[in-house]
Amino acid sequence: MVCVVGAPNFAAALMVAYKRPPLRCILQPKKHLAFSPRMMNLQSNASDEVEGSPWDHKGLLQSKELYQYVLETSVYPREPAPLKEIRAITENHPDFYMGATPDSGQLIAMLLNLMNAKNTIELGVFTGYSLLLTALTIPDDGKILAIDPDRQSYEMGLPVIEKAGVEHKIDFKSSPALPVLDKLLEDKKNKGSFDFAFVDADKTSYGIYHERLMQLVKVGGLIVYDNTLWYATLVMPEESVDELMRPDRSFLLEFNKFLAADTRIQISQVTVGDGMTICRRLF
């Protein structure tokens, strides 16, 4: 079965996956949440919250209070207003749960600043949280090649990007990522031309993106893969994971091993958001 990220039944599959053992299924009425789901981009239309699901507002952490603490103490006070606006808009999207979380965004901005990134590429834009974050962080003459076949979701966040005055840094391509990467590689001068890549598109293609990005990103540059811990399903027995989530789960189990063994890169698996793997090209 092919798993299409963003398909309406994918959200249902997540709910089902988290209702099964071994993760305990503890239904908690929303009114018992200690903070407003509207502050997050993880709000659900469902009447119940399921512990361990993307709707329970704690990411991969063990308690939602701790996640709330991190967000309220260190993230929200420094989150630029346009990013808050994109999160608010994304709450109305049927696939709201796909939006990047603000704690992940804060780390990405730190990485971009540390390396003085100027020329970046993003695979998987959705409503544009990570894209706008990048655009706000890189210098005024910086560039982001942003690729996603879903122009409609990009256009939901576009007015905020325009209002923030950073649209001139963005080259949005409404296309699957692979043909664009292959086209870039036809021209030798694109090789090693990117400082930073953020990969948040279809998970089962991460391996083929990796080989292309290893050529397009400069030596010393970063490739960051999002969702590498896949809603914690990597450590659940396969039979307890909904069939819709299994292809990505199986792929990521192999991909994480592959990255760990890839001597061309230095890696760091971080547990913010849904897990991100930071890869630095060594040669």
Residues near ligand SAH (CB under 6 A) are 5-6, 98-100, 123-127, 129-130, 147-150, 153, 176-177, 200-202, 205
Give the one residue of 43, 90, 127, 227 binding Ca ion; rule: CB under 5 A.
227
From the list 18-26, 167-175, 195-203, 212-220, the region that binds Ca ion by CB under 5 A is 195-203
Q: Which is nearer to Ca ion, 195 or 200 (CB)?
A: 200
Output b/e per residue, 149-164; b: 16+ Cβ within 10 A.
beeebbebbbebbeeb
Q: Is 101 in the site for Ca ion (CB under 5 A)?
A: no
**Shortest distance in whole angstroms from residue 47 CB to ligand SAH:** 25
From the list 15-23, 63-71, 177-185, 194-202, the region that binds Ca ion by CB under 5 A is 194-202
Taking CB within 5 to 8 Å according to partner kind, which of Ca ion, ligand SAH, none is near residue 227? Ca ion
Contacts of 221 (CB under 8 A, 6+ apart): 115, 192, 194, 195, 196, 197, 280, 281
Q: What does the block give as tokens for 148?
A: 């996603």
SS (H, E, C) 151-196: HHHHHHHHHHHHHCCCHHHEEEECCCHHHHHHHHHHCHHHCCCEEE
- Which residues, listed in sequence order, are joined to residue 198 by a DSSP beta bridge? 122, 224
- Which residues, listed in sequence order, are joined to residue 217 by a DSSP beta bridge? 194
**Shortest distance in whole angstroms from residue 22 CB to ligand SAH:** 27
For residues 197 and 265, the answer to whether their CB atoms sit within 8 Å is: no
Give the one residue of 49, 56, 226, 242 binding Ca ion; rule: CB under 5 A.
226
Footprint of Ca ion on 24-83 (CB under 5 A) = none
Q: Which is nearer to ligand SAH, 51 or 95 (CB)?
A: 95
Binding residues for Ca ion, per CB under 5 A?
200, 226-227
